[in-house]
Each structure stands twice: as C-alpha cells, then as structure tokens.
Amino acid sequence: MFESLEIDTGAGESVLVERIAALERLKAAAAAGQARLAVALDQARRSAEMAAGVPAARRGRGVATEVALARRDSPARGGRHLGFAKALVHEMPHTLVALETGVLSEWRATLVVRESACLDLEDRRRLDAELCSDPAALEGLGDAALTAAAKAIAYRLDPHAVVDRAAKAESERTVTIRPAPDTMTYVTALLPVAQGVSVYAALKREADLSCDGRSRGQVMADTLLERVTGRPAGQAVPVTINVVISDQALFGAESASAAIAGYGSVPSAVAQKLVTGAVADRRSRAALRRLYARPDSGALVAMDSRSRLFPKALAEFIELRDQRCRMPYCDAPIRHRDHAKPYSRGGPTSALNGLGICEACNYTKEAAGWTVTTRFNESGRHTAEFTTPAGGHYQSVAPPAPGTAATEPGEIEVRVA
C-alpha cells in the first residue's frame, strides 16, 4: 500500500491524472477501513464494559473522542465519525462498498448517511440499495444531485419521518461564532428556511436602497449589527472583552500579537485600537489587571486555592491561560474550569491541576479509563497529558502569553457601557 504513495512528478500527464485518481480511491478505501475499525473498537469496548458490570447507559462513553484523537480531529467530529461508521457497517452495506471501491468519497458517503438518518432500519436499507447498489448510477453525480436523490427516496419511503425531522430541526436553531482571517469573525445563524430567507431578504432590501458609497456587503453587515444591537454600526456596544497583551505592545514599544478571549490571536495594533477606543469613549469603562509570565517562555504563572470550586480570579486566569478547550484538536470555547485529577480523588484546586475545557470533553475525561495528568514543561508552560482507555497518550500544551518572551503581559478588560 505504501509503495502506491510514491510520487513521480516527471511522469506524463495521463499518468499524473491516473495517479491522482488512484490516490483518491485509496483515500476512500482508507475511510471505509477506518469506519470498520471504529465500529470494532466500539463493540470491543462495550463488551468489556458489559463484562465489568458497567450500566448499559454508560457503556461506550469516550469512544468517539478516542476515534477523533486517533484521526487528529476534534471530539465533536469524533461523534460524527463514529455515527457514520455504525450506519455504514450495520445498516448501509451498498454505501460502504461504494466507499471501499472509491465510487464515493468519504464526504459523499456522509451525505447519503445524513439524508437517511430519519428513516427506520428497513427503509434505510431500501434507500441504500436503491441509491448505491449500482456504482455506475453514482458516476458523475455532484454533491447537490446526490443529496437531492437521497432526499427524494427518503421522502417517498417515509414522508412523515422526513417532515418530523424538519420539525425537530427547528428546535436546533442557534447562533455560533468562529474566527475568520484578518481579525474578522463569522457569526452564523442556523434558522428555519423561511426565517433565514426572510432575514437575508431584509438585509438585501436595505442594501438595494442604500446609495452612500458602501458596498452591498458592507451595508448588509452594518444593518445586521444595527438591528441586533439597536445601535448604529459606529457606536460602541455594551460588551465585555478580555484582551491579553504585553505592556510593550500596548504602549507601542514593539509590534507583537495579542489575544482576545473566545477569539484567538490578533495583531497588537488591533488590540491597541480596541483599548484606546474604549478609554477614549466616555460611555465605556476600561480596567487593567496585571498577569505575570516567565520571561524566558511567556508561560503565565500559577495561582492556588484550597476550595473545591475554582474562585473567580483563578477560573479567569485558567481561561486566559488556556484560551480554548485543552482536549487535543478541540477548538471549542471553554465552558468548564475543572480539575485534571478529580477533586474526589485528591486533586487540588490549583492552576497546575486546573483545565479550561468544553462541556463535552469534560464529561468525556470523567468516563472510566480516562486519566489526565498535568505538569509544567521545561519552558514553564502548562502541559496536560490525556490517556485514553485504549492506552493512547495525547499532549496538550497551553499557548504562550502574547508578546515577546521578555515582556510582561497584562490583561485589559474593556467594558463598553
């Protein structure tokens, strides 16, 4: 198998194209193999836990995260990977064969699995056979066409299930945020189709009426902000923003990076503008708190407590130190500040034993067989090692404080009222 990965870039064009196609088929076959292995792991773990007397409701906890870690992926995607694998192996053999032979890519197989999820087992197998039993029928289908075909079959087999799924989806409406390039953000709203279309139409109509020199996109973005906050786009809004920036960068003595809690790294000039704008605006309040870092590595210093719950100051310190969930490959925002070694087993309430972690990963690490140990590495940076029930070891190192190693960072809490 590994011989097939040898690359001869000097080959003829037709050979190069065939090698690209061959590697694509290899990727699909590998994805099918991962699916079979993930299901085998889940079955082995559940059997072992059943023999050990673990209640049925608790069996298999953490397997999805182990799958994600092995694939160098986020725990949230691990759940999707495992669910996808179970559907293929247990319920959709034709789709699995199409994936193994490279007729479907992993993503396209995921589309088929997703559109059949609302069906019962018998109907799901019918959809699988009707859509994927003939590989030739799948050739040339784009993602949209494949999805539409799966939807049409699902609706014909069980229209009530499809309608009920749509109704349930409305309860999952939400708004999320994630970083975008150039210190921008994506704020995404998941809405029922009628509401989503009406929101976009309202913003588009406002852009059609505007003639002040702004682009259509700028008008739509400004209108969205104004209608959500109730304030003009250029006016400060009442929010609290935690910015970690070195003193040298804050006062312009050097150009470095800064960090915004819940977002990530930004250029120091952007942070300076944010801070000075808040200070200059009489409607806002700005507070400065100092944190101390090791001059050689930028590792934030620790604080300790004897209480079971993390005091507010220590919890904020851990969140500023860790910035994102500390489970490897998980970029989720921090929701819990918890003990690496559980308090019930003698774990202290300290910065060393504290972790910033998302809710799902916190519950995962509490499952049987998981352990987390913490230490300060040779640079003084907080290091957590996660050991899985299968014996896998994965390290997570806290990011350094922004700024050069010789600077002393301070946290600016900007409160705009």
Q: What DSSP string runs through 29-80?
A: HHHHHHHHHHHHHHHHHHHHHHHTT--GGGTTTTHHHHHHHHTT--HHHHHH
12 shares its domain with 108? yes
Q: Within a domain: residue 235?
A: no
Query: CA 353, CA 343: separation in Å to the nearest integer?
Result: 10
pTM, to two decimals: 0.71
Beta strands in 59-201 (DSSP E): 174-180, 184-190
How many CB atoms sit inside 10 A of residue 84's CB? 22
Separation of alpha carbons 203 and 307, rounded Å: 50
User: What pLDDT is stored for residue 1 in this prediction?
Assistant: 44
- What backbone phi and psi angles, to 5 degrees, belong to 207? -70, -35
Are 336 and 370 contained in the same domain?
yes
Q: Classify residue 119: in a domain, yes or no.
A: yes
pLDDT at 408: 42
What letter would DSSP give residue 401?
A: P
With contact defined as beta carbons under 8 Å apart, do 92 and 124 qualify? Answer: yes
| Co-location of 31 and 137 in the same domain | yes
Q: Is residue 297 part of a domain?
A: no
- β-strand pairing of 409-416 with 240-246: antiparallel
For residues 414 and 402, what is the distance between their CA atoms, to the nearest angstrom? 17
Q: Both 189 and 266 in a single domain?
A: no
Are residues 163 and 182 part of one domain?
no
Instruction: Report yes or no on 110 lying in a domain.
Output: yes
Q: Are 60 and 187 contained in the same domain?
A: no
Q: Are residues 309 and 388 in the same domain?
A: yes
Establish if 73 belongs to a structural domain: yes
Whether residues 160 and 248 share a domain: the answer is no
122 and 209 inside one domain: no
Statement to judge: residues 12 and 127 lie in one domain: yes
User: Domain for residue 43, yes or no?
Assistant: yes
What pLDDT score does 241 carry? 65
Say what the pLDDT of residue 138 is.
Answer: 94
162 and 79 in a single domain? The answer is yes
Q: What is the mean pLDDT of each run of 10 residues along the chain (417 residues)?
A: 65 90 94 97 96 92 95 93 97 97 96 95 96 94 93 93 84 86 87 88 90 89 88 64 72 72 73 72 62 63 55 84 91 90 86 92 91 90 94 92 51 37
Structural domain count of the chain: 4
Q: Which domain-ending residue is among 170, 199, 219?
A: 170
- Residue 299 in domain: no
Nearest to 33 by CA among 77, 73, 76, 70: 70
Count the alpha carbons within 13 Å of 66 in the hemisphere toward its beta carbon. 23
Q: Please report whether residue 216 resides in a domain.
A: yes
Q: Coil, helix or strand for 337?
A: strand
Range of the structural domain that residue 270 is part of: 240-286+412-416
Domain identity same for 122 and 99: yes
Which region, left, alpha or beta, applies to residue 323 given φ > 0 means left and ψ of -120 to 50 means alpha?
Answer: left
pLDDT at 97 (0 to 100): 97
Predicted pLDDT at 414: 37
Write down which residue in 184, 202, 229 finishes a domain: 229
Q: Would you say 89 and 36 are in contact if contact means Cβ atoms under 8 Å apart?
A: yes
Cα gap 301→292, rounded to integer Å: 6
